[in-house]
Chain A
């Protein structure tokens, strides 16, 4: 059976990676015979390499199987390749089998239509020079521009790439640094590097700090199998932050399937860490965080943060970390209500307030008018689709 896009997306969401592959093995095999290889160029900007490590943590398929199953040709990946940049008296030496700069130049010169995996953001500072990251003697920003313009689609993996994440968090040097996400910087779609450099290549964001390997692998797989056509299918499959809705459901949060949900419904909350109850009062941002962590789980599908006793810190949300810190303070006390908040979160808050009892309700009544206004605005139905 050849799946159409709808079936594919549904299957990915319901089954997870390994079951998905099991179920649709023959479909894959058939597809592979009919499809040419897909080339991948993977660049590292301002990041911590945690997303590369997270991809090595992927299983069923693991990263090696992924390349085989989907007939992918990984052309460039600085953590996983033999090459490095080699210069003798300032001139590139050896050949592309040992020299990454020659390889990169060949790619920039000749390759077209590849998937560009962007790990990390792009430094624009100081003064728009991009010189806070220089690789092989040239600002990364320049290399990125060329690589991005020649790609058929950009898959931004991890929060540093999707929204600049911790690199763009508020500080007294953040303006000077000017580290940019690919399509957004924090929640601002006008500050993505693609806008700045007039890059028209479509962007798919795989949020998270780090990104879950399933989210990345299945997205790449869907692209390689042409189950998601670029750009025509993107408005339907992506949300307003360019995230695949199947992994970051607009109508579903981490809170919905949390194993501690029963405590929440009964109004039983942990007030100090190390307990078993609901983490709401310890600052859990689960009700605001649109991701399937609670059903998919991490690292061999074993666990996720609230199940391990930590409040969710909302690492998939556009404004992370500024929109979700302080991490350990109950959300009604943080002053961050109104940021990246939507219908589902609003409903969850309502529920929590009921559950938390009179104390919380009293606080709600005492909320300042502008905060109330923020909430009612955010109750508007969440917009979807590409609206960059």
Chain B
């Protein structure tokens, strides 16, 4: 048994460590997910004006600040009792704000954080064994995805074309957000009762222009076809099978054009999605398209026991058709991407918040109760330096993250969970195909394809919100007064780009905050084990995954553990989100947050 540790896992948000045990065949047999930083964020909201929550909590994360400010604003709407009156145009503005940040965040993850692993030298060594085609594909991978700081065999390599293009998109979308949000990161739009800026007609034209430019990037770099064509045949396909057929036909057509020339460049139609869709998967690439080689991402990062995993979405984007106001406790009906829970056998059921609890058996917290509902959470950080130790193995306490579970089962959250629960045809079709062929339906390949697909799903919705739903110079906030927050409670359910996000707040008789709690996506995905010893999603995904590139294609190389790197990064880790603490002050020991 060999111990392979990645510490720190770079190219993520925050500070993170993965420790694994690997057997002689190069298969991971045990794993611990360690969150390395304790920041103590929510405590600093206590005893302060609750209205500050949107601008304070967005500072939890600089990659996805917008979702925190919206989850907080939703919780404040509830706290002040105005959620049913929030103007429709404010809700549309929340959608636009979130939609732009979601695309920017996904682009940053796919290209800047996750993508560089495709330019790992191990793929060079594997691909050049496959003649001109292999060399050509390696040329594309390294030429598109190499990061800014990258040296190979002593020579500095320039950053990849798609990598640099994505930084430009991130910049463009943040510029668009600044038009109505003041600046980005940490924009200032969200406020209790609505938003603080009402766009003028000129702003609306500009926003649409920004999104059109992003669609151009997607056409040139990401897809190789127009986003409209793609969406028409995938997101709007009449069945999951039709969506998968479209993808396969598209890939076959591209291969037909390129097999002789070995030209897999952007200009010959090989966008980043088709390139990854064909060469990333053993099932799609090698079995269905007869390619000689693939990166076998579908063999890695899956779940071996469907009874120990679920998928969860709290629901995302308000439906503008519903008009003013929304029900903060019922995100099932009024969200474009619905809330829901799907078990490991892919059976969908209604989402019931009361089934969530958080466990600290393996976390560095001190509490007589190991399992609590998050809205009852009491969290006291370990204060003894000698007890903070990450090397004690799976039985020990080993993380600053808690372990949330739904009905006792850990859940994956994020684009794959959302699109599955939504029934998005391409994602659903691919997942079924993997399941029918003996693969884990969730794996590193489907997780990344879902993230790419969600960008495509959001672009046309974003255009609709901007051009059809948003009224210029409309009323965007209801008036509130601090006294409305006296002795109250609020809940804001929303989604971060990387998964389910909930904020809870309670106030005392002076209207000041007594409790603040955020349950965030990376806590779900990157938790330690729970009390029953069930590993978290990322730990389950690591166990059984091969340690080295493409299923140990060149033998076992413990010193280049791509199996860990791809799998850990496929969840888009955001550790600043994952690690947090809250407890109730002694003043209101009996206070229970309302949960609907």
Which residues does A use to contact B, with CB under 8 Å?
Answer: 44, 46-54, 56-59, 62-64, 67, 74-90, 93-94, 97-98, 100-101, 123, 126-127, 129, 131-137, 140, 165-167, 169-174, 176-177, 179, 209-210, 272-274, 298-300, 302-310, 313, 315, 321, 325-329
A302 to B179: give the CA distance in the assembly, Å: 7
A123 to B39: give the CA distance in the assembly, Å: 9
Task: Write the nearest CB–CB distance from B35 to chain A, whole angstroms.
Answer: 11
Where chain A touches its partner, the secondary structure class is loop
A242 to B6: give the CA distance in the assembly, Å: 37
- Chain B residue nearest in CB terms to A48: B62
Q: Is the CB of B170 within 8 A of A57?
A: yes
For chain B, the count of residues having a C-beta within 8 Å of the partner chain is: 97
The residues of A that contact B193 with a CB separation of less than 8 Å are: 273
Q: Is the CB of B183 within 8 A of A299?
A: yes
Q: Is the CB of A166 within 8 A of B59?
A: yes
Q: Is the CB of B196 within 8 A of A80?
A: no
Which residues does B use to contact A, with CB under 8 Å?
Answer: 2-11, 13-15, 17, 36-41, 43-44, 46, 48-49, 51-52, 55-56, 59-63, 65, 108, 112-113, 116, 119-121, 146-153, 159, 164, 167-168, 170-171, 174-175, 177-189, 191, 193-198, 381-385, 388, 390, 475-477, 479, 558-561, 565, 576, 581, 585
Q: Is the CB of A300 within 8 A of B178?
A: yes
Q: Is the CB of A50 within 8 A of B7?
A: no
Partner of A298, one of B184, B191, B559: B184
Q: Is the CB of A274 within 8 A of B37?
A: no
The residues of B that contact A51 with a CB separation of less than 8 Å are: 62
Task: Write the nearest CB–CB distance from A15 to chain B, whole angstroms.
Answer: 20
Contacts A126-B383, A299-B174 given; does A134 touch B188 at CB 8 Å: no
**Known contacts A50-B61, A86-B559, A308-B183; can you find 4 more A-B pairs with CB under 8 A?**
A49-B62, A98-B120, A273-B194, A325-B56
Q: Is the CB of B189 within 8 A of A310?
A: yes
Partner of B476, one of A78, A88, A274, A328: A274
The residues of A that contact B3 with a CB separation of less than 8 Å are: 87-90
Partner of A97, one of B46, B55, B152, B390: B152
A97 to B151: give the CA distance in the assembly, Å: 6
The residues of B that contact A76 with a CB separation of less than 8 Å are: 149
Contacts A50-B186, A57-B174, A62-B167 given; does A313 touch B55 at CB 8 Å: yes
Nearest 8 pairs of A and B residues by beta carbon: A50-B62, A310-B188, A129-B385, A308-B182, A299-B178, A326-B49, A298-B183, A81-B149
A329 to B481: give the CA distance in the assembly, Å: 11
Q: Is the CB of A82 within 8 A of B174?
A: no
The residues of B that contact A170 with a CB separation of less than 8 Å are: 44
Contacts A87-B7, A273-B194 given; does A310 touch B182 at CB 8 Å: yes
The residues of B that contact A52 with a CB separation of less than 8 Å are: 62
- Chain A residue nearest in CB terms to B153: A97
Q: Is the CB of A274 within 8 A of B59?
A: no
Task: Write the nearest CB–CB distance from B77 to chain A, whole angstroms.
Answer: 13
The residues of A that contact B56 with a CB separation of less than 8 Å are: 166, 321, 325
Task: Write the nearest CB–CB distance from B555 to chain A, whole angstroms.
Answer: 15
The residues of A that contact B52 with a CB separation of less than 8 Å are: 321, 325-328
The residues of A that contact B14 with a CB separation of less than 8 Å are: 49
Q: Is the CB of A48 within 8 A of B559?
A: no
A97 to B9: give the CA distance in the assembly, Å: 15
Q: Is the CB of A327 within 8 A of B62?
A: no
Partner of B175, one of A80, A302, A321, A326: A302
* Between-chain CB contacts (< 8 Å), 22 pairs: A44-B15, A48-B60, A51-B62, A53-B174, A56-B170, A56-B171, A57-B175, A64-B164, A74-B149, A81-B11, A81-B147, A82-B147, A82-B150, A84-B6, A84-B8, A88-B4, A98-B121, A100-B8, A167-B39, A274-B196, A298-B184, A309-B198
